[in-house]
């Protein structure tokens, strides 16, 4: 099995009730997965598959996804919500004596 040098991709292993196996996933490559009977084998399988895909992408000079861990984030993003939810949240924030931004941040962190 291949492995990437300095692999900083975001991996996750979860149980698949449908397959009755563990599934290895990589956030930066959402189309890839690896089934295995153990968590360790699922992680090893998906990381090896990612290494193979990255090697193929390099050979064909395709852009390779950057690891999420190495990206810089501003801390800002725009979310569109229905006006009635906006109003409800504004009232909730006012009643709590905090800004709407602080309320939304608190709700998103749970």
Domain residue spans in the chain?
11-68, 73-108
What pLDDT is stored for residue 6 in this prediction?
82
Sequence length of the chain is 110
What's the 3-state SS for 85-96? HHHHHHHHHHHH
Verdict on whether the full-model pTM lies above 0.95:
no
Residue 10 φ/ψ region, left for φ over 0, alpha for ψ in the -120 to 50 degree band, beta for the rest: beta
| Helix, strand, or coil (residue 16) | strand
pLDDT mean across residues, the chain: 95
Neighbouring-strand partners of residue 35: 23
Determine contact, residues 35/52, Cβ cutoff 8 Å.
Answer: no
Pairing of strands 33-36, 21-26: antiparallel
Instruction: Give mean pLDDT, residues 48-52.
Output: 97
């Amino acid at each position: 099995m291949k492995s990437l040098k300095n692999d900083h991709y975001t991996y996750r292993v979860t149980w698949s009730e449908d397959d009755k196996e563990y599934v290895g996933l990589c956030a930066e490559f959402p189309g890839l997965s690896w089934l295995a009977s153990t968590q360790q084998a699922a992680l090893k399988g998906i990381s090896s598959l990612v290494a193979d895909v990255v090697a193929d992408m390099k050979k064909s000079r395709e852009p390779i996804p950057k690891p999420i861990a190495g990206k810089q984030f501003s801390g800002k993003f725009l979310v569109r919500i229905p006006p009635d939810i906006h109003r409800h949240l504004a009232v909730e924030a006012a009643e709590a004596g905090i800004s709407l931004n602080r309320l939304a941040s608190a709700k998103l962190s749970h």
